[in-house]
Structure 1
């Protein structure tokens, strides 16, 4: 299979017979809550997002009195633009797909992103006809794995949390002596760690200076508890790097422990680590003359911007992995992005040359890579502060408002409504529900898979993951209004082959690569028929986490609705707040916390009961219940209140909302679970819980514009994408020929007789009647906040997602 075929979007979608539109897949999973039946006849084709939202607890509004605003979301995937926001506040944009000559970037004063055109333009562009795998210079670039020694080819565990440090060391930086730290630097470290830990750091540094020829593993390792606050964590990494002159690497393991080791980069100048790539200037052993070492480039991690259209993040990463002949651990990113959208995010790749990666732009379809920078650290899930959204809503109208009036007045009314609504989203916020994408798109929701897992029914969990709608196999295209995506049909066909014939290879060949959970289950059960637990454990870890976290998300959504029904925006006794956000107020600490992240990039704060419980300066995130006096003294607002995701190590609200957790989860609808007993034999299925803010709000800056469209314009595109902007710049060099063509067209048009005036009038009237209004909204949200939930509050549920194709069967 060639590169283009492997990454191409289906050219057409097969229609499904309309007579099957009401087919319902009856699932054995049944969930009901508060009068709502979620029998999850999961395969029933619910076309109304509102009905789907009710099934997962999305029912309440902060302001339910406003008029309904109707519009269509994502009618074109270019109607939904998502740009990642880095921890330093920079919005990531794709500014160039070129690569600098020899990919050398300045090391001082640079951030982790090339957002907003920060990179210099390339000296030369990748040749269009150059075969994949060659660099911009035309030299063949060997595969990364072949260029590494066995021990050097090993990369850090992706479950660890590598520090993202971009602090440039000034030329007059004071070098640490071998015997002592300065009083100022020691004071900084003591603000983070105890005396013993600081002494161990100093000993590690002295060992590095005294034995520069040792390998990293020969030096002592320092391990200590670490904060889960990303802002504080980043500052600690930077201070360690500055104080110890970049010779100590800091990272966080999967248990939330800070690990300090001798820096590979610092030792690279003292020995040949990369088969001559990193050899000293006078060495004659280099097998790659004129090639820079990773140290000289800036680090072993290539950071780049990934632009994609109507694709999953993992789908593009999978393609890059295949073309580079490497493994999935090579790439790291902060979080997954929407599929039906145009998105830009930063990704890091371990020991991949920029020239080699840029060469893949020739075969990438509906995606691009660019803005390359080398760094000493890779990215980790959660290393972002949020996302910026530019959203186009089509066929907009206000309920109860007539569109027969003057177009100017109609537009002004809509614009006024949107400005007021966005202002309220900032001031009053919106209920921070987990959106529909949290619960999957296939026949059985991910939360139901998670419930089966938590109940120990692993067979039902596997069956649920492999569920599909028979509509996806329908070949009758004669009288259908439903559409099915190519990948969804292939998924259903592969699973159906497995169920009917048991032929593993044939089924796996049919299932697209991005459906890794389905493939892993079929592969494992083909060898071990009854080992359903083993099949689940064979799924990628962050996907396994996603299922059980989806159940937590369902319970959390329902809890928010119950809390809002009981108390509204009033702060009451027993409400929970995060301790670290209110260190200046009275504290009674109960729990400590650390973080984990699942496949959706959702950060789940996992408390740990054995940390320092009463240390006012402790940086771990903890929650505590408010007293009656605190609830009434005005120091806390509804934006401070958090609700727990169920687990064995969280506090539950000390009021009626807390009692609701026990009642609901013990019911048949909740699965008969005990919120205080969420431990399981398998570590990944053992939930300690976490906390999430009840309300969210958009950033301080926002924009809203209303425009007319339709008629002769059709479904026009209102916002230019980053890739279109780049291509437009490249086309400027050919503007001379284009201007000549335009002039010729104008001359031909001048010679063409004008149509009768009556015909023009009729066409103009028809076009005017077909005119519609579109709204373009721009705003920012924090990480783990859903734009669809903000739009739901803004429109009072009137915005519906466009059903471009049949996906999965729900």
Structure 2
């Protein structure tokens, strides 16, 4: 990335829907916005506390108002520190040395800004984590700590654990042997993608990266000695033109931090792959990040030279990579703990008499409201809805496409994906610059329409922006086989075509949350589902509550399919609570899960279970049977999964409030801002040190309320502008939890996204 001052970032997005945002200081926001209506359409229609007043604010008015940093498995937060090609000598420290901490607080909340670096620094060597405690795995023998053995028993049967330890002993005793000469351990493996990365990580940590874990085509976990050959992981094959082997460097995979502004993860990764002339599959990451914001995440590349990667910073725009390390393993999807958000809300207001309040009172009122709201998000949680991002941004929602696929209406699904707005097409044809329609949307409409009217494949693809890969795949396939709609759908990259049917599951889940809240609120009731592997300590009591025979043996009631010997039950199986369990107080609303429809899930054994069947069978639900989700095409055959009813923010959170008059004022520095500052100081201060100073130091004019005292007033007086109120929120969420849903509950729907250019006409 060009870090010169000339390469300015796109600071803010084009505002086009004046009615849905607050453009004038004395204008009153509408009670129902376009986003509110869209949320209702996808089942986001329930409030935990409808008595709270609405807090209004604008989200993402500038890209730098929405900062997202990945939280790694060890709890550290990924930050971009250095663009240097020199790899760190510490394999994890480049990701982030400390838990990114909240600014100093004066309100007694957790996350008060105390430095946690000492207790959160990860001690590791090249090629794998090294335990620094008394339970350290010694190199002279297979000595596993009791704590680690207990961890393994959580994942596997005791027999499998013993086989693993024997395999490790064999590796330590005969390190010269090839991988295939050591024992191989096979065991059933969970299908829960949120659990798999944690298990892989525990195996690497406990066995010092000497045991590889992989899943075969049958879903069986295969554990083998890490390969030592020239083609295996950590092999001795030398990188081209270099003296050190991949093994000597630390591993075949180069891990790095990816910083990006207003770009999709795949957009940057695809550019890297094309530019470096490597296959896109050489790159892996734990999860995609929001396009509309500034994000940092960890990415891995298989056998790509660090110098080549670092050299890409000269070509990247609004993106950068750095903090390189060599590792033995690449990243896997889901291999993260969540994300840290630093969110700036602008033009904040609360109550009808807001304009009559003095500045100090506005600051105090806003901070008090938001502090209480964050406390509630931590202690009481919020409904764990899927956010609007899950359902797409064009005329046909992704769940609508998914329903047509599940109904077997493949032509309808293709037509829905290729639907476009007449407004976008007309703007493309006329070249009218006064119509606020984005260039990509114009080009998309023009490309699809050209294919529909002329059938010319190549000309249509030339008009269609590369980012629309699903549309490109359909046009490319239909240009050869015009009526094979199933084949066209299957030509879409697998991760995208799965998105459609998963979006239908998400819609049902959102609606189910609302129905459950209406029926039971936050009470735990008989028939509620819990994940079995999360409550082993309570299973003994659960068995005591079951029926017993004359000899005192528990009577097991078999289900449709016998899973008695399935080790996966400890991971991703759910069961219904009995009446006595629900009343015992041993379970809270945070333990309760709801199913995403599928053929291999349990449904609640109460009125909500019947709701699934009734709603999905209705016209609105698509006329589907929740117990019959198998389809001839494997990717469209849904086994189902579970998701928590409630989510909550992490223990560390904070809020600051500011007054301002300049709409372009930036309240939080990005990682790239800090790197530029460091360069301007001629290396006198590292980016990490700059971040710490920025995070902990208060503005020299700040008061205990966190306002920029006097700054807003001086700007307003100088430019004759009314001052406004901004709030900066910092909190963490687990993976697959939506910050927009947390903000919705925090403000009772008053926080609305700043409208970008026209996207799809919904």
Aligned residue for 2:598, secondary structure, equals coil
Is 1:8–1:365's contact at 8 Å kept on the other side of the alignment?
Answer: no
Structure 1 counterpart of 2:696: none
How has the CA–CA distance of structure 1 residues 417 and 240 changed in structure 2, closer, same or farther, with 3 Å as cutoff?
closer
Deviation at 1:702, TM superposition (A): 1.1
Structure 1 counterpart of 2:294: 342
Q: Which sits farther off after the overlay, 462-471 or 725-734?
A: 725-734
Is 1:517–1:543's contact at 8 Å kept on the other side of the alignment?
Answer: yes
Q: In the alignment, is residue 60 of structure 1 matched against residue 46 of structure 2?
A: yes
Q: Distance in 2 between matches of 1:524 and 1:765?
A: 62
Deviation at 1:105, TM superposition (A): 2.4
How has the CA–CA distance of structure 1 residues 707 and 552 changed in structure 2, closer, same or farther, with 3 Å as cutoff?
same
Is 2:80–2:258's contact at 8 Å kept on the other side of the alignment?
Answer: yes
How has the CA–CA distance of structure 1 residues 536 and 10 changed in structure 2, closer, same or farther, with 3 Å as cutoff?
farther
Q: Distance in 2 between matches of 1:270 and 1:436?
A: 42
Q: Normalization by structure 2: what TM-score?
A: 0.80
Q: Distance in 2 between matches of 1:112 and 1:272?
A: 20
How has the CA–CA distance of structure 1 residues 343 and 450 changed in structure 2, closer, same or farther, with 3 Å as cutoff?
same
How has the CA–CA distance of structure 1 residues 530 and 12 changed in structure 2, closer, same or farther, with 3 Å as cutoff?
farther
Is 1:314–1:514's contact at 8 Å kept on the other side of the alignment?
Answer: no
Is 1:609–1:649's contact at 8 Å kept on the other side of the alignment?
Answer: no
Deviation at 1:468, TM superposition (A): 1.2
Is 2:127–2:209's contact at 8 Å kept on the other side of the alignment?
Answer: no
Q: In the alignment, is residue 495 of structure 1 matched against residue 448 of structure 2?
A: yes
Structure 2 counterpart of 1:564: 517
Is 1:308–1:343's contact at 8 Å kept on the other side of the alignment?
Answer: yes
Q: Distance in 2 between matches of 1:350 and 1:200?
A: 27
Q: In the alignment, is residue 105 of structure 1 matched against residue 89 of structure 2?
A: yes
Q: In the alignment, is residue 721 of structure 1 matched against residue 670 of structure 2?
A: yes
Structure 1 counterpart of 2:4: none
Q: Between Structure 1 and Structure 2, how many residues are aligned?
A: 669
Structure 1, residues 701-728: CA drift from partner, whole Å, max 9, x if none?
2111111112xx2331111111111011
From 321, 335, 341, the counterpart of 1:369: 321
Is 2:15–2:754's contact at 8 Å kept on the other side of the alignment?
Answer: no
Deviation at 1:785, TM superposition (A): 0.7
Deviation at 1:373, TM superposition (A): 0.8
Deviation at 1:581, TM superposition (A): 1.7
Q: In the alignment, is residue 549 of structure 1 matched against residue 549 of structure 2?
A: no
Is 1:17–1:478's contact at 8 Å kept on the other side of the alignment?
Answer: no
Is 1:570–1:638's contact at 8 Å kept on the other side of the alignment?
Answer: yes
How has the CA–CA distance of structure 1 residues 492 and 165 changed in structure 2, closer, same or farther, with 3 Å as cutoff?
farther
Q: In the alignment, is residue 534 of structure 1 matched against residue 487 of structure 2?
A: yes
Aligned residue for 2:84, secondary structure, equals coil
How has the CA–CA distance of structure 1 residues 50 and 376 changed in structure 2, closer, same or farther, with 3 Å as cutoff?
same
User: Which structure has the greater CA radius of gyration?
Assistant: 1
Is 2:237–2:246's contact at 8 Å kept on the other side of the alignment?
Answer: no
How has the CA–CA distance of structure 1 residues 247 and 91 changed in structure 2, closer, same or farther, with 3 Å as cutoff?
closer
Structure 1 counterpart of 2:659: 708
Q: Distance in 2 between matches of 1:243 and 1:707?
A: 47
Deviation at 1:268, TM superposition (A): 4.4
Aligned residue for 2:408, secondary structure, equals coil
How has the CA–CA distance of structure 1 residues 245 and 489 changed in structure 2, closer, same or farther, with 3 Å as cutoff?
same
How has the CA–CA distance of structure 1 residues 401 and 581 changed in structure 2, closer, same or farther, with 3 Å as cutoff?
farther
Deviation at 1:729, TM superposition (A): 0.8
Deviation at 1:195, TM superposition (A): 3.4
Aligned residue for 2:436, secondary structure, equals strand
How has the CA–CA distance of structure 1 residues 686 and 111 changed in structure 2, closer, same or farther, with 3 Å as cutoff?
farther
Structure 2 counterpart of 1:24: none
Deviation at 1:203, TM superposition (A): 6.4
How has the CA–CA distance of structure 1 residues 95 and 210 changed in structure 2, closer, same or farther, with 3 Å as cutoff?
closer
How has the CA–CA distance of structure 1 residues 416 and 243 changed in structure 2, closer, same or farther, with 3 Å as cutoff?
closer
Is 2:258–2:321's contact at 8 Å kept on the other side of the alignment?
Answer: yes
Deviation at 1:219, TM superposition (A): 6.5
How has the CA–CA distance of structure 1 residues 50 and 15 changed in structure 2, closer, same or farther, with 3 Å as cutoff?
closer
Structure 1, residues 522-567: CA drift from partner, whole Å, max 9, x if none?
1111122222111111111111211101000001101111111111
How has the CA–CA distance of structure 1 residues 714 and 293 changed in structure 2, closer, same or farther, with 3 Å as cutoff?
same
Is 2:233–2:252's contact at 8 Å kept on the other side of the alignment?
Answer: no
Structure 2 counterpart of 1:168: 130
Deviation at 1:609, TM superposition (A): 5.7
Q: Distance in 2 between matches of 1:647 and 1:306?
A: 35
How has the CA–CA distance of structure 1 residues 515 and 209 changed in structure 2, closer, same or farther, with 3 Å as cutoff?
farther
Deviation at 1:769, TM superposition (A): 4.8
Q: Distance in 2 between matches of 1:257 and 1:493?
A: 47
Deviation at 1:792, TM superposition (A): 0.6
Q: Distance in 2 between matches of 1:447 and 1:640?
A: 27
> Unaligned regions of 5+ residues in structure 2, if any?
1-6, 19-31, 101-125, 544-558, 685-712
Q: Distance in 1 between matches of 2:421 and 2:402?
A: 20
Q: Distance in 2 between matches of 1:344 and 1:272?
A: 27
Is 2:127–2:251's contact at 8 Å kept on the other side of the alignment?
Answer: no
Q: Distance in 1 between matches of 2:233 and 2:754?
A: 59
Q: Distance in 2 between matches of 1:395 and 1:555?
A: 35
> Unaligned regions of 5+ residues in structure 1, if any?
1-6, 19-45, 119-163, 278-286, 590-606, 736-760
Structure 1, residues 395-430: CA drift from partner, whole Å, max 9, x if none?
110032322221111111111111111111111111
How has the CA–CA distance of structure 1 residues 569 and 186 changed in structure 2, closer, same or farther, with 3 Å as cutoff?
closer
Q: Distance in 2 between matches of 1:518 and 1:229?
A: 30
Cα RMSD (Å) of the superposition? Answer: 3.8
Structure 1, residues 116-156: CA drift from partner, whole Å, max 9, x if none?
599xxxxxxxxxxxxxxxxxxxxxxxxxxxxxxxxxxxxxx
Q: In the alignment, is residue 775 of structure 1 matched against residue 727 of structure 2?
A: yes
Structure 1, residues 172-193: CA drift from partner, whole Å, max 9, x if none?
964577xx99998997767734
Is 1:13–1:485's contact at 8 Å kept on the other side of the alignment?
Answer: no
Structure 2 counterpart of 1:80: 66
